[in-house]
């Protein structure tokens, strides 16, 4: 049974088929048949045999396929709840989140929208109200930019056995392509008295947010592509609003309507939700995501071995570039500058690395991000001091600490919150 299904060692015939041969009239049919039976043959001799046999050099591999798949040894998955799913930050390298692992948060599920029927209406305080089909949006001068998205409720703390994904997996990064909203504003002739615009999604929640027009002229986009392909349904297919650096909820997905106005609409999402108590007041229209970082390696559930460890993680700020990430390997007593992976982009996940020798002592490792406004990622205590004990889970970006135990176990350090 350990024998491969077919005898390996033969020259793979398909590589020898020349173009001229393929084009050679009657022979073509035979070749096509040969190819498809080859593919079948390779498929039967597929993964299972390979694993059993353990020697990939002794069995011909699978042929080309129409859509690629992950290695069967890699199984990164989102962690789902009823209303969201979290990116497995600890399983990723670099700063682009594979599109199928991008975090999700929606208020009435993921709608199915026919791209041929899709329309974006821009009206209100404009010279000329207009409707754009998806094909119209794609004809405008386009722009590509890489930036992070983060849900403003991206903060969890409870037990020691929490992964980066569980603590702060509601952030992801993509390369987005679309049209600048300013290009469309120019087209419809936004009136100078317009100071806000309403963005409305075409999901079952008809989700709405009011956005200052200034952001629209500055760097807002209507994007239809993510990481080189059409945007994923969970991310707003066929088009969404992208507000670089601003809380996830304002980046309205499945956008169908933009209404220019001289005041905010005070929608449910910007009053009852996405607002939070600060001392004896309620803070509203908190758009920018403040600087934050997290060490993604080593982290729970890694097991450390003595010797050299490259501490790795991501840092980001909704206010611009990360200028520095510092790591402490002595529970916050001293801080070391880390290496930032270039290019460091504006409002984007930035990868940091710090080489460290672990000698087997019990300690805590922490990271803190500093952005171009000189904002330093605070501790949970600092946030509570600034906002009062009723501080809620919105816009919480505290330093995350990992405990290193003598036996090499890495555990999250939950801090009491409230």
Partner 1 sequence: MNRYVVVMASAMLLLLLGTTGFKSSNSLPRQTITADTSKWPSTFSFGKVATEQQIDSVAIAILPNGTGLPPGLGTPKEGNVIYITKCASCHGANGKAAAGEKLPAPELASDSISKIKTIGNYWPYATTIFDYVRRAMPYNAPGSLTNNEVYSITAYLLSANNIIKPDMVINAHNLYKINMPARKLFIPDDRRGGPEVR
Which residues of the shown chain bind ligand HEC in the complex (CB under 6 A)? Answer: 107, 205, 268, 272-273
Residue among 63, 160, 121, 74 at smallest CA distance from 412: 160
Q: Residue 415, CB half-sphere, CA atoms under 13 Å: how many?
A: 14
From the list partner 1, ligand HEC, none, pick the one residue 133 interacts with, judged by a Cβ distance below 5 to 8 Å according to partner type: partner 1
3-state secondary structure of 17: coil
Q: Distance from CA of residue 154 to its chain's centroid?
A: 13
**Rounded to the nearest whole angstrom, what is the least distance from the CB of residue 234 to partner 1 in the complex?**
19
- In 3D space, the residue among 103, 67, 312, 129 whose CA is nearest the CA of residue 226 turns out to be 103
Q: State the minimum distance, in angstroms, from the CB of residue 269 to partner 1.
A: 9
Task: Identify the CA nearest to 339 among candidates 361, 320, 315, 303.
Answer: 315
Output 107 or 123, the one with its CB closest to ligand HEC: 107
The partner in contact with residue 187, picked from ligand HEC, partner 1, none with C-beta cut-offs of 5 to 8 angstroms by kind, is partner 1
What is the nearest approach in angstroms of ligand HEC to the Cβ of residue 253? 13
- For residue 25, the partner it binds in ligand HEC, partner 1, none, with Cβ less than 5 to 8 A by kind, is none
Contacted by 321, from ligand HEC, partner 1, none: CB < 5 to 8 Å by type: partner 1
Q: Which is nearer to partner 1, 50 or 344 (CB)?
A: 344
**Choice between 79 and 205, CB closer to ligand HEC:** 205
CA 339/CA 285 separation, integer angstroms: 34
Residue pair 146/389 in contact (Cβ under 8 Å)? The answer is: no
Q: Which is nearer to partner 1, 59 or 255 (CB)?
A: 255
Distance of closest approach, residue 12 Cβ to partner 1, in angstroms: 44
For tokens 């995350």, name the residue: 400
Residue 255's SS3 state is: strand
409 binds, among partner 1, ligand HEC, none (CB under 5 to 8 A by kind): none
**Which CB atom, from 107 or from 409, has the smaller least distance to ligand HEC?**
107
d(CA 40, CA 37): 5
- Select the binding partner of residue 257 from partner 1, ligand HEC, none (C-beta < 5 to 8 A, by kind): partner 1
**Residue 366 in contact with residue 296, Cβ under 8 Å?**
no
Cβ proximity to partner 1, 49 vs 275, nearer residue = 275
Residue 386 interacts with which of partner 1, ligand HEC, none, CB < 5 to 8 Å by class: partner 1
CB of 84 to ligand HEC, least distance (A): 11
Give residues with Cβ within 8 angstroms of 261, minimum separation 6.
124, 125, 194, 195, 196, 197, 198, 210
- The structure tokens listed for 335 are 């801080």
Q: How far is the CB of 107 from ligand HEC (least distance, A)?
A: 4
* Residue 207 C-beta: closest distance to ligand HEC, Å: 8
As measured in angstroms, the least distance from the Cβ of 282 to partner 1 is 5
Residue whose entry in the numeric block shows the structure tokens 């056995």: 161
Q: Which two tokens stand for residue 374?
A: 């000189």
Structure tokens at 202: 């075409």
Contact 107, 172 (CB under 8 A): no
- Name the residue nearer to ligand HEC (CB basis): 138 or 273: 273
Minimum distance, C-beta of residue 111 to ligand HEC, in the bound complex (Å):
14
Q: Which is nearer to ligand HEC, 268 or 413 (CB)?
A: 268
Q: Which is nearer to ligand HEC, 84 or 363 (CB)?
A: 84
| Residue 195 binding: pick among ligand HEC, partner 1, none (C-beta 5-8 Å cut-off by kind) | none
166 binds, among ligand HEC, partner 1, none (CB under 5 to 8 A by kind): none
Residues 6+ apart with CB under 8 A from 412: 157, 159, 160, 161, 162, 163, 167, 299, 300, 400, 401, 402, 403
């Amino acid at each position: 049974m350990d024998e491969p299904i077919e005898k390996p060692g033969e020259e793979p015939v398909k590589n020898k088929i020349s173009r001229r041969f393929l084009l050679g009239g009657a022979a073509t049919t035979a070749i096509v048949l040969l190819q498809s039976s080859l593919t079948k043959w390779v498929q039967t001799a597929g993964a299972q045999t390979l694993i059993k046999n353990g020697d990939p050099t002794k069995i011909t591999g699978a042929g080309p396929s129409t859509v690629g798949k992950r290695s069967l040894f890699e199984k990164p998955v989102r962690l789902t709840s009823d209303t969201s799913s979290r990116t497995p930050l600890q399983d990723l390298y670099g700063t682009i989140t594979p599109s199928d692992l991008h975090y999700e948060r929606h208020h009435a599920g993921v709608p199915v929208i026919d791209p041929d029927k899709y329309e974006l209406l821009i009206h209100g305080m404009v010279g000329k109200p207009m409707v754009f089909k998806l094909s119209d949006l794609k004809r405008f001068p386009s722009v590509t930019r890489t930036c992070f998205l983060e849900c403003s409720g991206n903060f969890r703390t409870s037990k020691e056995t929490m992964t980066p994904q569980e603590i702060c997996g509601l952030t992801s990064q993509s390369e987005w392509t679309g049209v600048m909203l300013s290009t469309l504003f120019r087209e419809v002739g936004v009136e100078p008295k317009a100071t806000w615009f309403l963005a409305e999604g075409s999901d079952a929640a008809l989700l709405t947010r009011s956005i200052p027009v200034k952001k629209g002229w500055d760097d807002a986009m209507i994007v239809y592509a993510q990481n080189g392909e059409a945007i994923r349904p969970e991310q707003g297919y066929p088009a969404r609003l992208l507000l670089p650096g601003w809380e996830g909820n304002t980046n309205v997905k499945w956008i169908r309507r933009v209404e220019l106005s001289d005041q905010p609409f005070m929608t449910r999402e910007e009053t009852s939700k996405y607002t939070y108590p600060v001392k004896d007041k309620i803070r509203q229209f908190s758009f920018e995501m403040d600087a934050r970082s997290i060490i993604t390696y080593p982290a729970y559930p890694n097991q450390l071995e003595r010797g050299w460890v490259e501490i790795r993680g991501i840092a980001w700020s909704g206010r611009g570039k990360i200028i520095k990430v510092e790591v402490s390997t002595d529970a916050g007593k001293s801080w070391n500058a880390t290496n930032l992976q270039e290019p460091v982009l504006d409002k984007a996940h930035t990868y940091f690395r710090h080489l460290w020798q672990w000698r087997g002592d019990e300690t805590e490792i922490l990271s803190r991000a500093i952005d171009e406004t000189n904002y330093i990622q605070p501790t949970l205590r600092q946030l509570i001091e600034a906002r009062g004990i009723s501080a809620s889970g919105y816009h919480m970006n505290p330093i995350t600490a990992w405990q290193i135990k003598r036996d090499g176990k890495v555990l999250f350090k939950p801090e009491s919150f409230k």
